[in-house]
Chain A
Amino acid sequence: MKKTIYIITIFAFLFLVIFPLLTMVVSSFFKNGNFTLEHYLYVLNKGTLFLLLKSIGLAFAVALIATLIGGFFAFTLTKTNLPMKNIFKLIFLIPLFISPYIIAVSWVDFFIMFGNGKLFIYSPFGVIFILSLIFSPLSMIIISSSLANLSARFEEAGLMMTTNFKIITKIVLPLIKPAIISSFILVFVLSISEFSVPAFLSVNVFTTEIFTQFSAFYNYDLAVANSIVLIFICVSLLLAERYYLADAPFLSMSLKSHKVKLIELKRSKYFLIFIHFSYLSLSVIIPVLVLSIQSFQGNEAIFGKAFSLLSVNIINSVFYSFTGAIFLLFFGFVFAYISEREKIKSINLVLLITFGIPSTVLGIGLIKFFNTPILNFIYSGYWIIVIGYLGRFIFIAEKLISNTIKQIPLSFEESAKLMGASFFLRIKKVLFPLISDGLFGAFLISFIFCLGELGTTILVYPPGTSVMPIKVYTIMANAPQSLTSAMSLIVLLITLIALIFLFTGHKILTKQKWSLD
């Protein structure tokens, strides 16, 4: 039975995501029906290599800054008794709920409003600045989960011998090193594949080159060849990480099975609160304030108009994202189980490749594969959007779940097996209760990512329907700024409301007090 589930899930994934991508990759090796490496050799020209190096440099800087910022706040919000830390944690996540493009627009408008900083924002430094603000919350989640999982006994033992500073540098940092490196790699991969922010700030990078090949030259094969180079870099990083870290967790959600040792802050807490407020101003308050100011520059009915434009899309968006998150949870769990319990690690590489493929390539691949008379029932309905979500985010869902599974000793399941429990019973009675928090976290993050997905959805969404991010973007051209800003704020609000519903639902189902630890 177990193997049947594996086989069905793997074949479903191959059919839904891998085959469409393969059709694109295979065609990049052919020109006029003949095998060629021409498209790949093109990448070796000086200009393209320069763009590639530039992208690597930018992504490296973003990954470093985001990990430092995320790491710092993960530490203060997990390991200290800072007042209001749960509120800070929630607000810090907001940049993840707003589209990077909208954040870039509001930052440019901010600099224009103040008449200064134009040269900075329209430069690679501007790209690094904005992407670091966007991805720092992700680093914070990854590192704080790892910190929360540190058992207090390590630090308590250290405290008997030495100072807090030495404990941090000699005990805590080495123990959370896997999470720090994982955060760096994930942010690097996300930054190097980001298109909308550098394009808006007129900074030419490798992804803008891929976009140009797609959209100005309609040279799909060359665009795919370029994408493969990008994926090669990401896969190399993952392999290097695996070699270096062996089996350490990549991403993890916390399991509260032990006490977390907190550092008692005295006077320094006022200074730290000031730092937290200052950073919140940068990452959240300024973009949201700019959007609010722009919204209120319109007439008082602007929010009503913005809401009426979005209203028909709200249910669609939430429903598709919810469905997408369920699918991601199912596929993510099965793949994570195969990877962790059956030790078939190569599955991670396949998932990373799907993650590294640009959203446009995935979109075109899905059209070419599913837009046939036989599969039209999938292509012409909303299923194609859900498949797009699956291809885009399965890597993240699987990683989140596999690290939760990794933390549960195999012996628990083996004991149940000795007692005669079937595979399903072991999963239901032993594994699920222990990883339910992790599964919920994976579901939540998948839901948020699905809700904001644009790149693939724009290419496959059925005519006559729409989802919230697409509506905001299609209205954006030539609509008053106040209208698009109001729509962005409403999307943010709806995302927050949906999250509150999900948290409440989780609380009722598990009858637990929910916290952000």
Chain B
Amino acid sequence: MKNIKQILLIIVLIMSAWNCSEKSSNEVVVYTTVDQIFSDPILKDFEQETGIKIKALFDTEETKSTGVLNRLIAEKDNPQCDVFWSGDPVRAIILKNKGITIPYNSPAASDIDDNFKDKEFHWIGFSARARVLIYNTNLLKSEDVPNSIFDLIKEKYKGQVAIANPLFGTTSFHFASWFSSLNDETAKQLLTDLKTNKILIATSNGDVKKRVVQGEIACGLTDTDDAFVAKNEGAPVDYVFLDQDDLGNLIIPNTLSLIKESPNSENGKKLIDYLLSRETEAKLAISCAQMPLHKGVQVPVSIPSLDNILPMKIDYNLTAKKLEEIQTFLKSWIEEN
């Protein structure tokens, strides 16, 4: 019994020490929805270059990258996080609307187009992804590849197109962008026609990519990073930007937000400045084909550039508001047979 008591005492002491051992005043806490495989190397570079310890928290595809956002909302009254690095503007806008972020106009973003920034600087965009159509080159010849979202409702693509669940992630924003750039009636008709054409609803963008790569389906809507990674891995796939004649292709910037009453806000600002730099954009271009928003950032030829793409003209804040309005409709759209 005496031995057991001693062992228990030692365990409690070790546990207490463990619990307190990793506290540091020169640190910054960042929550990110950007895939760890791309965001982690950038954060490590920041740590190495500045000496400020990074404490990062990543999201998972299994929870459709909503774990971090749920946590930020739940932590509102006693924030633990300094910087929120989001893979899209929607989540940053949700946090702004819930009063969780504060404005920070980083000097590092002075030459980024105002369209990619919140008017009150609650979020600033950088390194953009685009929504693209990924297709299996064994199943679709290049001349048969759809050019427009409206091509996807044609009979010849019946049961051949996949999208991720539109209640989550960038797909939800993509759907909202149709409502925001077309009108409600046209967008609803488009969705009805897509459903009639037996569009397949996958669990995530990664799942869309996987199904196209495996040849389970001919093509699908996903993000540039998914398509780029699949192509780089040697899968029989390629991707195209849609609606380059008229509507334009949806561009989705990463966003950075400073959390209200965060514990290390000064270090948070340093991290935001670092992430908004040209160097970070160049690194993200190489690792996952993200398109720089700064002018003149050197990137490999294989990386798409915003100079060569017709972007969809939308107001990100209004589109996020639209998303809130259409969510119930989207839920019933998914559930209908």
Contact A477 B37 (CB under 8 A): yes
Contact B62 A459 (CB under 8 A): no
Q: Inside 8 A of B307's CB, which chain A residues have their CB?
A: none
Q: Inside 8 A of A479's CB, which chain B residues have their CB?
A: 35, 37
Contact A463 B36 (CB under 8 A): no
Q: Inside 8 A of B335's CB, which chain A residues have their CB?
A: 47, 204
Q: Inside 8 A of A319's CB, which chain B residues have their CB?
A: 18
* Chain A: minimal CB distance from B27 (Å): 8
Q: Which of A36-44, A212-220, A241-249, A332-340 contacts B (4 or more CB under 8 A)?
A: A212-220
The verdict on B9 contacting chain A, using a C-beta distance below 8 Å, is no
When A326-B11, A364-B70, A459-B70 are in contact, do A477 and B64 touch as well, CB less than 8 Å?
Answer: no
Query: When the two chains form the complex, which single residue of A112, A360, A379, A473 contacts B61, counting CB atoms closer than 8 Å?
Result: A473
B-side binding surface: helix, strand, loop or mixed? Answer: mixed
Contact A372 B77 (CB under 8 A): yes
When A101-B62, A465-B22 are in contact, do A202 and B202 touch as well, CB less than 8 Å?
Answer: yes
What is the chain A residue whose CB lies nearest that of B22? A464
Contact B35 A463 (CB under 8 A): no
The verdict on B229 contacting chain A, using a C-beta distance below 8 Å, is yes
Q: Which of B52-60, B115-123, B188-196 contacts A (4 or more CB under 8 A)?
A: B52-60
8 Å CB interface, B302-337 against A: 327, 331, 334-335
What is the chain B residue whose CB lies nearest that of A47? B335
Contact B62 A461 (CB under 8 A): no
Map CB proximity to A onto B46-72 as digits: 1 under 8 Å, 0 otherwise: 000000011111111111111101110
CA distance A367 to B167 in the complex (A): 25
What is the chain A residue whose CB lies nearest that of B324? A217
What is the chain B residue whose CB lies nearest that of A465? B22
The verdict on B150 contacting chain A, using a C-beta distance below 8 Å, is no
Q: Inside 8 A of B201's CB, which chain A residues have their CB?
A: 202
The verdict on A381 contacting chain B, using a C-beta distance below 8 Å, is yes
Q: Inside 8 A of A367's CB, which chain B residues have their CB?
A: 71, 74-75
* Chain A: minimal CB distance from B142 (Å): 25
The verdict on B225 contacting chain A, using a C-beta distance below 8 Å, is yes
Map CB proximity to B onto A289-330 as digits: 1 under 8 Å, 0 otherwise: 000000000000000000000000000000100010010000
Q: Inside 8 A of B57's CB, which chain A residues have their CB?
A: 461, 463-464
Q: Inside 8 A of B61's CB, which chain A residues have their CB?
A: 473, 476-477
The verdict on B104 contacting chain A, using a C-beta distance below 8 Å, is no
Contact B59 A464 (CB under 8 A): no
Q: Inside 8 A of A372's CB, which chain B residues have their CB?
A: 77-78
CA distance A454 to B61 in the complex (A): 12
8 Å CB interface, A43-62 against B: 47
Contact B60 A477 (CB under 8 A): yes
**A: number of interface residues (CB 8 Å):** 51
* Chain B: minimal CB distance from A21 (Å): 14
Q: Inside 8 A of B66's CB, which chain A residues have their CB?
A: 214-216
Query: When the two chains form the complex, which single residue of B19, B80, B203 contacts A202, counting CB atoms closer than 8 Å?
Result: B203
Contact A458 B63 (CB under 8 A): yes
* Chain B: minimal CB distance from A329 (Å): 12
The verdict on A9 contacting chain B, using a C-beta distance below 8 Å, is no
* Chain B: minimal CB distance from A316 (Å): 9
When A112-B216, A463-B31 are in contact, do A477 and B36 touch as well, CB less than 8 Å?
Answer: yes
CA distance A465 to B59 in the complex (A): 13
The verdict on B301 contacting chain A, using a C-beta distance below 8 Å, is no
Q: Inside 8 A of A174's CB, which chain B residues have their CB?
A: none
Q: Inside 8 A of B36's CB, which chain A residues have their CB?
A: 474-475, 477
8 Å CB interface, A447-480 against B: 454, 458-459, 461-465, 470, 473-480
The verdict on A428 contacting chain B, using a C-beta distance below 8 Å, is yes
Q: Inside 8 A of A470's CB, which chain B residues have their CB?
A: 60
Q: Inside 8 A of B259's CB, which chain A residues have their CB?
A: none
* Chain A: minimal CB distance from B260 (Å): 15
Contact B62 A463 (CB under 8 A): no
Query: When the two chains form the complex, which single residue of B74, B202, B288 contacts A371, counting CB atoms closer than 8 Å?
Result: B74
Contact B37 A475 (CB under 8 A): yes
The verdict on B206 contacting chain A, using a C-beta distance below 8 Å, is yes
Of B54, B63, B167, B335, chain A has the most CB atoms within 10 Å of the CB of: B63
The verdict on B298 contacting chain A, using a C-beta distance below 8 Å, is no
Map CB proximity to A onto B4-44 as digits: 1 under 8 Å, 0 otherwise: 00000001000100111010000101110001111000000
Contact A323 B15 (CB under 8 A): yes
Map CB proximity to B onto A203-215 as digits: 1 under 8 Å, 0 otherwise: 0100000001011
The verdict on A279 contacting chain B, using a C-beta distance below 8 Å, is no
* Chain B: minimal CB distance from A431 (Å): 14
When A101-B62, A477-B37 are in contact, do A463 and B80 touch as well, CB less than 8 Å?
Answer: yes
Contact A478 B225 (CB under 8 A): yes
List 8 A-B pairs, minimum CB-CB distance, nearest first. Answer: A464-B55, A381-B19, A215-B66, A473-B60, A463-B55, A216-B167, A367-B74, A474-B58
9 A-B pairs within 8 Å (CB atoms) are namely: A368-B74, A382-B19, A463-B29, A463-B31, A463-B80, A464-B57, A473-B60, A476-B61, A476-B62
Additional pairs, 16, CB under 8 Å, beyond known A216-B167, A474-B36, A477-B36: A200-B62, A214-B66, A216-B168, A319-B18, A376-B78, A383-B19, A459-B70, A463-B31, A463-B80, A464-B56, A476-B62, A477-B61, A478-B37, A478-B38, A478-B226, A478-B229
List residues of B whose CB falls within 8 A of some A CB.
1, 11, 15, 18-20, 22, 27, 29-31, 35-38, 53-67, 69-71, 73-75, 77-78, 80-81, 94, 167-168, 172, 201-203, 206-207, 210, 214, 216, 225-226, 229, 233, 288, 327, 331, 334-335
